[in-house]
Structure 1
C-alpha cells in the first residue's frame, strides 16, 4: 500500500487518561463511560472510533455519489455511527458497529446502491471487514 497520510496519536493513562496527536490538533481527556463503571466525564475510545467511522464513511458516500448521474450535495448526506463494546467468546472484548445513512435527493434503490459501493470503498469498512459486523440502514428524504 502506498500510504498517503499517517495519523499519530499518543495515549497516556489508558481509558482514564489523555490522547494527543503529534500536530496538537487533538488533545483531549478520555474516560471510562458510566456503563462500564467510569465517571463518564470525558469522551471515550468508542466515541472517537464512531466519529472517525461516521465521517470517513460519509466521505465514501460523497465520493460514490459524485460519480452518479443524480448528483447530491455533500450536506445532503448524513451518517450516524453507533459503536458498542462487550465481552467476546475468547474472554476479551469486541465491538459492534451500526451505520444509519440518510441521503436526500435519491430514491431508495439508488441510495442503497451508493451506500453498498461506499461500504466497499471506505477504509474503515475495509479495516473491520471479517472482524466486526457492520449493520447499515439506508434512508432517503
Structure 2
C-alpha cells in the first residue's frame, strides 16, 4: 500500500459538542448534537461531515465509471444519507447513496453507479472495513 495523501483533523472540547478543524486550517467548525437527538442543532455533526465526504468521493468514482461508459457525469446530483442507528445498546452507521444522472438511461445509470460503488474509497472502506488504529497519548 502506498499512501497518496493523509488528511489530519483535530477535535477538542467534548467531541460532538466541541470544535473540529483540519491541520491546514481550511475547515473549522463547531459541533453539536442535532435537534433530533436532543441537541441545539447549532453546529454540524459527524454524520453530516461523513455524508459530505462520501458524496464528494463518490462523485470522483462516478466520473471514472462514467468515462469508461463514455458518459459525462459532471451534472450528476449525488446525495448521501448517513444514518446513526442504535442496535443492541450500541451505535452504528448506515449509508445510502442516491445518484441522479440527467439524460442517461436507467440501465446505463445503474451500471455506472454500481461500478462507482466498487471504485469509491469510502464505499470500499465501509464495505470491507478500513484498517484503523486507535491509541492513547497520555500527558502527565
TM-score by length of 1: 0.86
Structure scoring higher RCO (CA < 8 A, sep ≥ 6) equals 1
Query: 1:72·1:105 contact (CA, 8 Å) conserved in 2?
Result: no
Aligned to 1:38: 39
Contact 1:119 / 1:125 at 8 angstroms: preserved in 2?
yes
Structure 1 portions without partners, runs of 5+: 132-141
Count of aligned positions: 128
Task: Summarize deviations over 1:78-109 as a string: whole Å, max 9, x none.
Answer: 100111112123x2101111111011232111
Q: Distance in 2 between matches of 1:11 and 1:86?
A: 22
SS in 2 for 1:72: coil
Residue 8 of structure 1: how far off its partner (Å): 0.3
TM-score by structure 2 length?
0.86
Q: Which runs of 5+ in 2 are unaligned?
A: 130-140
**Alignment partner, residue 3 of structure 1:** 3
**What is the CA RMSD across the aligned residues, in angstroms?**
1.3
Asked whether the 8 Å contact 1:58–1:79 carries over to 2, the reply is yes
User: Which segments of structure 1 move beyond 3 Å, counting only runs of 4 or more?
Assistant: none
